[in-house]
Each structure stands twice: as structure tokens, then as C-alpha cells.
Structure 1
Amino acid sequence: MLPLDLASSILIIGAGTWGCSTSLHLARRGYKNVTVLDPYSVPSPIAAGNDINKIMEHNELKDSESDPVGIAFETCTRAALNGWKTDPVFTPYFHEFGYIVAGHTPELIDHINKSEIASSKTDYVKLENAQDFRNTMPDGVLTGDFPGWKGWFHRSGAGWIHAKNAMLSAYTEAKRLGVNFITESPAGNVMSLEYDNGQVVGARTEDGVVHRADHIILAAGAGSDRLLDFKKQLRPTAWTLSHIRMSEEEAKRYRNLPVLFNIAKGFFMEPDEKNLEMKICDEHPGYINWVSDPLHPGEKRSIPFAKHQIPLTAEARARDFLNDTMPHLANRPLAFARICWDADTVDRAFLIDRHPEHERLLVAVGGSGNGAMQMPTIGGFIADALEGNLTKELKDVVRWRPEIAEHRDWRDTQDRFGGPFKVMDFQDVGPDGWTHIAGR
């Protein structure tokens, strides 16, 4: 492996949440030769972090010694929460108004209690009935009957982040500090890694240019799987989101609200003040796009694609969530919708490690639905891994670990609920099975 110093050339593949965060942290540490490649301008239309809001929630566990994955995640979210509160690049985009987690069947309620509430030091308030839920927000916001719902509410250390603006802020600051971003096709579109004597030495873009570097960081999110054999460790998985238009008066009434999340129905967060749109997501174990891969003939993979529509079944699930919580909005037309992609590891722990066969290559992938909330500090952990200084409690969990993926079940729901309670395939959605929302 080539030595690493502040003059080393470092190539980051991917300008999404983790790529932008990593470039910022490397620049802050004084690295002078950092280049980032991406097929899209920031923010990417397929990046999960290109979103008006994402949940940010930190839980302190009572006893995490028996759960190394849990303690690693807790370590990351604790650092991220501190970053959202103290780092001026990110503080404007964190809204600490609380978080409600709920279920609507005895089985779901019991699952939340045992898996999250009972193991947490966090001071939760129990919500027993519809009025308890309504009391968490101003009059007229929650008007539903919450049939069967029970939940738990905590305000400190939780709320939502404006993920898109935070990513743009990180990108802008990294550029100011000297990071070179090459984005949009063909110049930023990485078609393959570049090898020399069996070692990864860079990347080849669609325009035929080979970008060589002393050290390469693969942080292309759901797109990473097509550039490297991850030995089944990654599954590109997509979720669905939609927006409804709000009036200025409604947007004011819906300000400063906690996140409301039913683990099998969906969630919502307050309206975006710029576009006056409120995001509603249906909840489900995810979609894959199982197709033959032109880059790997004979193989089938889940391949990400950008689409600003969602399946009609996803829209119906979002409206079902609204019928339970805010029926006065349930029939309002959708103003926007899209699918967003992430990459699931087998155990949903991140994957941040030097490749065992390619010493100059560091992989930084596997957000597993929890990557955006890590934005202020995940780049610091990735920089630590590059420097060989990643703390042991993280290093042991986020290591390269193909042994646990050898017999991977690609349809595993990974402890997620909702929808048909199974992983769905976009290939099963016919051409008439999508929404038809006009562009802005």
C-alpha cells in the first residue's frame, strides 16, 4: 500500500451523503489532493440524501455489551447528534422537535416495546390512545382516530434533518476547502475501477479518462455494487416518498412538529418551508429492481434507477397512513413523488474497511436506511479508517465480512415491517402501475 500523507492523491467515487461528508472531513484534516466523481450533479437524483427531510434519532442503550452492532450504531448516532448540534456546516439543518414511534397491532406494539423501548435509557412518554397522539401536536394537525395505535414519544436528541440542504452545505464547504468535484456524465460517471497488477489504482469514467490515485474510496451508495464484487454483502434497496401541497397558513400551523412514525404504516414530517410541501412516506421492507446486469453478463442484480413517480400501491399505503392520522389530508393530490435508493448489508451494520485484496481501496457503503442521519460525522469515521485509526468498537463491526453473506436471502425483510410484509420487486410493477404526477 502506498503511504498516506497530506499530499497523497485520494479519489472518492460517489458524491452522495457519505462522499460529501468524507471529502469535507479529509479537507478539514489538511489533505490537499482530493477528487470526487459522480454521474450526477450534487444532489444526485438517486441519492437517498436528496430529500427535504430525514429522521434523526439517537437512543442510549441500557446494556449494549451483548450487541456489538447496537453499540457501534449508538456510537455513530451519538457522534452525529453532536455534529448536528455543534458543526456550523450542519446546525442550520437539524430540527430537534422530537420523535414518536408507534404500532397499530398488538404484535407490532410488543415488538417496539421489547426491541427499542425496554432496551433504551431514553425517557419516553407512552401514548395510549388517539387523544394522547393528538396532544403531541397543535390542534387541528392530527385529526384521525388512530385505530389500534399505541406509541412512545421523546423530544430530546431526536427530530428531523433537511438532508438535501445539509448535503449541499457539506459539498459547498468541501469545495471551498479545495476538494475537486467532477460530476455529471460522462466525465463523472465511473464505468469501472482501474486495475494494475491486480490492484485497484483508480477509476475509468464514461469519457474514457482514467483517474489514478494513491488511495481510492468507494462510496457510491446503492451504485457501489456494480463496480466491485461485494460477495453478496450489499443489496441495493429502494423506498418510496411522496409530497402533498400545503397552503402558507397550513405550513405555519405544521411547523416545529415531532416526527410521527408507525413502523408498519409510514411517517410524516413538517412541510418544507420553501416549496410548501409535506412529505409522507409509506413504510415497507423495500423494493429491489432484479434485472440482468449489462456490466456483468449472465448475472442478475438489483440495479438502481431514478424515477420521480412511485407505484400506485405505495401511494395507497401513504393515504392509508393519512386516513389513520390526518384524514382531512388523505385525498389531497400528490404534488411530488420519487423512489430513493440505499444499500443494505446483511446485518444492517455499515461496511467501512480496506479491501482485503486491494490495499489502496477503502469501501464506505451499506447505509442500510440509516446513512443520511450520520452526515456530519460519518466522513470522519471513514477518514479514520483510511488512516488506520478507526476505533475498535466500530472496526470490528463495520469490517469486510463476506462470511455472513455467503447464504444470503435476498428477500430478507431485515426486521422491517409494512406493505405486504415482504421485499417487493419493481419488475412486478407494470407500466400502468405508477403514479402520473406532472412535473413542477
Structure 2
Amino acid sequence: METPVNESAVLIIGAGTWGFSIALQLARRGFTGIKVLDASSFPSSSAAGNDLNKIAEEANEPSDDDSDEDYFWNKVHQLSMETWKNDPLFKPFYHATGFIMAACGDRAYEHCLKYAKSEQADLIPLKSKEHFRSTMPKGVLTGSFPQWRGFWKDGGAGWVFASGALREMYAEAVKLGVHFMTGSSEGAVQTLLQSSSKDTIIGAQTADGVRHKASLTILATGANSDSLLDFKKQLRPTAWTLAHLPLAAEEIENYRNLPVLYGVDRGFFIEPDAENHQMKICDEHPGYCNFIDVEGELRSVPFARQQIPKDAERRMRRLLKETMPQFEQRDFSFARICWDADTVDRLFLIDWHPELKNLVIAVGGSGHGFMTNPAVGILVADVVENKVEERLKRMMRWRPKTSVHRNWWDTQNRFGADGKVMDFQDVQEWTTIGEGEKGDLCT
């Protein structure tokens, strides 16, 4: 029986946070024949953006005097926030509630001080429980805030309604002619297709045996990316933990329009969503990996689970005890682990593959994936059209030399927990909520 073949001009592998942005931006620029493949039905459970909300923050104006890293992030955040604030599709989902950055430990507080020094916006110092409580309506922050110190950015920051934005991006992309193929058979990519000379990617084959050929293939599968391509240790799949805290109808009014409270060594919470009145709680830590020996090499291998380690729940409840003790014992309504892919320097990897023609790589969210979602689509489209700014191009390049002696246990300037990367192989107890292990593999 002859293998069925589908043809398209552009094939995007991954209908997650970045895949949607890439498809939409290319379609807006007039590209046609765009097909997107994903193993999950829409909205993809593989998308970190299929979530209540994500932190968003404006940055300083990019300057030629910036270090390369500062210039990269200032530019990326500028591109993103211009879209969140002004694009008619994105604008309804941005909530400029403000942002609090704080810490308990000395090293984490040094990180906050560095942040404050770099900001061109006016920040309000917070040094006591009274200071913290003054940032929100009376009765919200009732905790004692032991050892908490930080800064309040009362503007130019807030959060975005993530899953709502994804739904609108999907609808707009479909309207512009993008074709999405999803599901464990017709959407699940098993392998990239190579030319007979082995130097060109000509598409991908899905689990149903169909060969999807394309003139251009874009790989944007987040934490799962190195299962399809050898990234030479440039990616480390890393997971974080979250839970939803339900609020009663009579509680909601007092918990609206809250600034995001982010403790860099404790965790964060964002105001409840308007639909289900659930507040997202995250503990902060350098991340979990799932280290397994794969063909003689140690690799972190993602897996799906709507559970969190008991230790993660305990850290979340400590965060609540110190900030909102009225909720410390309240049952969570949902919990999950959520994956991303860390590069060594936490800068994105968006580039033409240097050895495989017709393949663009768009990976390495490194914890910044959804906030910068609009910028990613712009950057990938610029790479495809070969008009990306040279300085950005250099920062996002394919760079395996940075990973030759990679330390998989590097905390990468993250704090919390015991100050180290954790391994799911060491987890003994899990918190189960609802159906438990049916889970999301976030990318």
C-alpha cells in the first residue's frame, strides 16, 4: 500500500503557545498553505498557554548601550507589550494591574535589587507587612510576611488571560486559512522527513502513516522538541507546579484587580479568573526534571500528569500562610505540572538549522514563553523572511558550543525550594485532585 502524502507550503509542528503565534503571524503576512500538526485536540493540552493567566510586564526601551542580554529582553518585551496593549485581537486579554517582586532570602533579594536598579519605571519599596498589605484591598493580604522585602511596580505590568488569547489566535488563524490537524493519530508527529541526500527537511510523518510534505518546516514543540531532533544538549525539559484555589461568590469582589504578587523564592499568585473564580497559585523553584538514561546519556524526559508533588503543595501552602493565611487550609480545585524547555542561557533558540535545509527551529521558552508570545511569532516570521535584526539574530542563533559541558543541575538564576533543581525520580508522594494523572504536557 502506498504511503499517503499531503502537501503544504509551510508545516508547523506544535500547536502550543508558540505554534499559534507563528501560524497567526505568518498568515497575517500573507503566507498561504500553512498547516499545523499537534497530538492534542484544540485547545492543546500541550500548551502552557492553555492556562488561567500569565504574568506580563513592560520593559525598558532597548538601547545600543544595553548588554546583548538586556537588549534582547528589552526588545522582546517591547514587541510583546506593544501587541498586548494595541493589537485589537490581543488587547482585551491584557490586565494592567501592576506587579510586586519580592524575596525572603538574601540571595533572592539581591536578585530583586538588581531588577529594581535596572528598571526605568518608578518602584515603591516594600519593607514591612504593612507595606505589602497596602498594595491590595483591606482583608486580602492578612499574612505577616516574615522576611519579605521587595518592590511594587504600580503600572506597566500585570497579567494576560492566556487561554482566552489562545482561542482568539486560533480563530483568527483559521479565518486566515491556516489548517490545523490534531489528535493522537493524524496530528502526532513521529519523525521528521529528510531528503534522499539527508541534508534537507521535507516535512514530517504522523502516527497514522501520512507523510506531510512542505517547502518549509518549523519545529515548535517545546519540551518535546529533542525527541524529534538532536539539539546537542541545548534544551533541558524543565517542569514547574501550579494549583487553582477556588473562591466563593461572596469573596470575589474583594479579590479583583489585584497586582501580581511574585516572591522569587516563595511563589506567586494572580487574581481569580472571571469565569470560574479560581486563583492560580505557583510555588517558585529552579524546576523539576525527569532524568532518565537514554542510550547512555542522561536526559530529562517530559511526562503528563495532573498532580503535583506533596512538597510542591507544602510550598504553596507556606506561600499562602505568609501572605493570605485565610486560604492556607482551603482545598485546591486543580493541580498540574507544566513543562518548558530551558536553553543554557535562557535565551530563545529561533534560527534556521545550520545543517538541515528548509528547517526553522523555534524552541527554548525557558520560562518566558507566553508573556512573549506575540514577539515569538514576529521573530520567527522575520527569520523566515531573512530580515531579523542582526543583534537579535546573534542572540537566538543555533549555539551547541554553549552546551558542550552543560550542567543539567544548574539553577539558571532561579530561587526557592532548597535552591536546587529537583528530580521527579526522587518524588515519593503526590497530591491528587479530581481524576489525578490525566495531565497536561505543557510546552
What TM-score, normalized by structure 1, do the two folds share?
0.94
1:334 paired residue among 332, 335, 344 = 332
Partner of 2:208: 207
Q: 1:8 to 1:31 in 2, by over 3 A?
A: farther
Q: Secondary structure at the match of 1:310?
A: strand
Q: CA deviation at 1:104?
A: 1.2
Tell me how far apart the structure 1 counterparts of residues 47 and 301 of structure 2 sit (CA, whole Å): 13
C-alpha offsets along residues 218-276 of structure 1, whole Å, 9 cap, x if unaligned?
01111111111111111111100001110112122111110000000000000112111
Q: Does 1:192 align with 2:188?
A: no
Write out aligned runs for 1:61-76 (5 A).
Answer: 65=65, 67-76=67-76
Asked whether the 8 Å contact 2:62–2:75 carries over to 1, the reply is no
| Equivalent residue pairs, number | 428
Partner of 2:3: none
Write out aligned runs for 1:172-183 (5 A).
Answer: 172-183=171-182
Q: Secondary structure at the match of 2:225?
A: helix
Partner of 2:407: 409
Q: CA deviation at 1:439?
A: 4.1
For structure 2, which runs of at least 5 residues remain unmatched after alignment? 1-6, 437-443
Partner of 2:12: 12
Partner of 2:313: 315
Tell me how far apart the structure 2 counterparts of residues 64 and 342 of structure 1 sit (CA, whole Å): 30
Write out aligned runs for 1:65-104 (5 A).
Answer: 65=65, 67-104=67-104
Partner of 1:254: 255
Tell me how far apart the structure 1 counterparts of residues 104 and 332 of structure 2 sit (CA, whole Å): 25
| Percent of paired sites with the same residue | 50
Tell me how far apart the structure 1 counterparts of residues 14 and 161 of structure 2 sit (CA, whole Å): 20
Q: Quick one: which amino acid aligns to residue 214 of structure 2?
A: A
Q: 1:301 to 1:107 in 2, by over 3 A?
A: closer
Q: 1:99 to 1:222 in 2, by over 3 A?
A: same
Asked whether the 8 Å contact 1:104–1:149 carries over to 2, the reply is yes
Q: Quick one: which amino acid aligns to residue 229 of structure 1?
A: D
Q: CA deviation at 1:61?
A: 6.7
Tell me how far apart the structure 2 counterparts of residues 279 and 156 of structure 1 sit (CA, whole Å): 21
Q: CA deviation at 1:62?
A: 9.0
Q: Quick one: which amino acid aligns to residue 208 of structure 1?
A: G
Tell me how far apart the structure 1 counterparts of residues 373 and 316 of structure 2 sit (CA, whole Å): 27
C-alpha offsets along residues 57-98 of structure 1, whole Å, 9 cap, x if unaligned?
123179773520221111011111110011121111111110
Q: Secondary structure at the match of 2:47?
A: coil
Tell me how far apart the structure 1 counterparts of residues 231 and 288 of structure 2 sit (CA, whole Å): 20
C-alpha offsets along residues 349-404 of structure 1, whole Å, 9 cap, x if unaligned?
00000000012000001010001011223201110001111111211100111111
Q: Does 1:264 align with 2:260?
A: no
Partner of 1:348: 346
Asked whether the 8 Å contact 1:62–1:121 carries over to 2, the reply is no
4+ residue runs of structure 1 moved beyond 3 angstroms? 61-66, 297-300
Q: CA deviation at 1:44?
A: 2.3
**57-66 or 193-202: which moved more?**
57-66
Q: CA deviation at 1:298?
A: 4.3
Write out aligned runs for 1:289-308 (5 A).
Answer: 289-293=290-294, 297-308=295-306
Q: Quick one: which amino acid aligns to residue 302 of structure 1?
A: S
Partner of 2:431: 435
Q: Quick one: which amino acid aligns to residue 142 of structure 1?
A: L
Tell me how far apart the structure 2 counterparts of residues 365 and 426 of structure 1 sit (CA, whole Å): 23
Q: 1:64 to 1:333 in 2, by over 3 A?
A: farther
Q: Quick one: which amino acid aligns to residue 265 of structure 1?
A: R
Tell me how far apart the structure 1 counterparts of residues 65 and 250 of structure 2 sit (CA, whole Å): 49
Q: Secondary structure at the match of 2:177?
A: coil
Partner of 2:227: 226
Partner of 2:28: 28
Tell me how far apart the structure 2 counterparts of residues 411 and 177 of structure 1 sit (CA, whole Å): 43
C-alpha offsets along residues 192-216 of structure 1, whole Å, 9 cap, x if unaligned?
1111121211111111111110000
Asked whether the 8 Å contact 1:39–1:183 carries over to 2, the reply is yes
Tell me how far apart the structure 1 counterparts of residues 91 and 308 of structure 2 sit (CA, whole Å): 32
Q: Quick one: which amino acid aligns to residue 112 of structure 2?
A: I
Asked whether the 8 Å contact 1:411–1:422 carries over to 2, the reply is yes
Q: Quick one: which amino acid aligns to residue 275 of structure 1?
A: N
Q: CA deviation at 1:52?
A: 0.3
Partner of 1:363: 361
Tell me how far apart the structure 1 counterparts of residues 252 and 435 of structure 2 sit (CA, whole Å): 21
Tell me how far apart the structure 1 counterparts of residues 55 and 241 of structure 2 sit (CA, whole Å): 15
Asked whether the 8 Å contact 1:384–1:390 carries over to 2, the reply is yes
Q: Secondary structure at the match of 1:397?
A: helix
Q: 1:64 to 1:290 in 2, by over 3 A?
A: farther
Q: Secondary structure at the match of 1:73?
A: helix
Partner of 1:161: 160
Q: Quick one: which amino acid aligns to residue 153 of structure 2?
A: H
Q: CA RMSD in A?
A: 1.6
Q: Quick one: which amino acid aligns to residue 80 of structure 1?
A: S
Partner of 1:281: 282
